[in-house]
């Protein structure tokens, strides 16, 4: 039987110990490592390649959200379960955007956490029902998942850290447009285009526009086709 290998990332030793203890009796789950901050977490993930990462959002140094984005880029096969002290709508939306598979509060019942781990390991995405009980929040969550699902169908499971505008600009770059041409097509300034491209390179950790386009194409965030560019329909 293949066991689900779990990495626990939290800066409180007692909390990590409690989770480890609650998972010890599960025959199909094994805690393979622990980390107290982002640097430890990245080293552990690189060495252990866990199936599931239980991630506290409030970490010292690099935030849990930023760490989630980095881990999904480096280990797209890992499902990340975000754990937080309090429900926060914006944290929820941000967690979805950076690639979290589940968003739970830390007072979750141990048996429910076990279920969450098993389900995200199968590729499911889960959100606390208390959060989804609020219609406005539920609508935004579903919209985000709908957008990300379109990407996920053709990608290797990596969620795009780029904003819709950044994806639009990168798509224009992929079609061979210069900064001036992109500015004209999107009705924005040259400097705004440069700022977006700088942000794209930073988020994807690449050195130039070509590498950014290749990275995005490989993960299905942009597509090249023979169809005319919709931004060029004037």
158 located within any domain: no
Together in a domain, 140 and 173: no
CA distance 174 to 178: 10
224 located within any domain: yes
Together in a domain, 86 and 29: yes
Looking at 93, 126, 152, the residue that finishes a domain is 152
Together in a domain, 131 and 170: no
CA distance 186 to 33: 47
Tens-place pLDDT, residues 175-228: 778 899 999 988 899 999 999 999 999 888 877 787 788 777 767 777 655 444
159 located within any domain: no
What pLDDT, on the 0 to 100 scale, is given for residue 190? 93
Looking at 110, 125, 152, the residue that finishes a domain is 152
- 3 state SS of 32: strand
Together in a domain, 133 and 35: yes
Buried residues in 10-19 as b, exposed as e (16+ CB within 10 A) = bbeeeebeeb
Give the least confident one: 45-49, 84-88, 120-124. 84-88
CA distance 7 to 23: 12
Four-residue CA torsion sign, 98, 107, 79, 57: positive
What pLDDT, on the 0 to 100 scale, is given for residue 116? 93
pTM (2 d.p.): 0.59
| Angle formed by the axes of helices 64-74 and 89-98, nearest 10° | 20
What pLDDT, on the 0 to 100 scale, is given for residue 227? 42
Q: What is the residue-averaged pLDDT of the chain?
A: 81
Together in a domain, 70 and 139: yes
Instruction: Please state the domain count of the chain.
Output: 2
Nearest of 25, 31, 96, 85 to residue 58 by alpha carbon? 85
136 located within any domain: yes
Would you state the structure tokens that stand for residue 163, as one six-digit string? 């904003």
Together in a domain, 169 and 119: no
Does residue 62 or residue 234 have the better pLDDT?
62
Tens-place pLDDT, residues 56-68: 988 988 888 889 9
Output the domain CATH number for residue 54: 3.40.50.2300
Together in a domain, 122 and 170: no
Domain that holds residue 65: 4-152
Together in a domain, 80 and 9: yes
Residue 144's CB is within 10 A of a number of other CB atoms, namely 17
**Partners of 102 in the beta sheet?**
81, 126
204 located within any domain: yes
93 pLDDT above the threshold of 90: no
209 located within any domain: yes
Looking at 121, 152, 183, the residue that finishes a domain is 152
Together in a domain, 146 and 171: no
């Amino acid at each position: 039987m293949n066991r689900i290998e779990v990495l626990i990332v939290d800066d409180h030793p007692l909390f990590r110990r409690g989770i480890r203890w609650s998972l010890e009796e599960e025959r199909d789950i094994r805690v393979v490592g622990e980390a107290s901050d982002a640097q430890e977490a990245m080293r552990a993930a690189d060495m252990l390649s866990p199936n599931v990462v239980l991630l506290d959002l409030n970490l010292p140094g690099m935030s849990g959200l930023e760490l989630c984005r980095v881990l999904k880029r480096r280990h797209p096969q890992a499902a990340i379960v975000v754990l937080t002290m309090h429900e926060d709508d914006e944290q929820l939306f941000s967690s979805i955007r950076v690639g979290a598979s589940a968003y739970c509060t830390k007072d979750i019942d141990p048996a429910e956490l076990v279920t969450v781990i098993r389900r995200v390991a199968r590729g499911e995405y889960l959100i606390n029902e208390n959060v989804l009980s609020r219609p406005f929040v539920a609508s935004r969550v579903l919209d985000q998942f709908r957008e990300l699902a379109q990407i996920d169908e053709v990608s290797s499971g990596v969620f795009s850290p780029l904003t819709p505008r950044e994806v639009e600009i990168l798509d224009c770059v992929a079609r061979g447009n210069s900064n001036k041409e992109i500015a004209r097509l999107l009705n924005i300034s040259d400097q705004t285009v440069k700022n977006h491209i700088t942000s794209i390179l930073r988020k994807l950790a690449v050195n130039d526009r070509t590498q950014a386009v290749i990275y995005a194409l490989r993960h299905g965030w942009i597509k090249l086709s023979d169809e005319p560019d919709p931004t060029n329909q004037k």
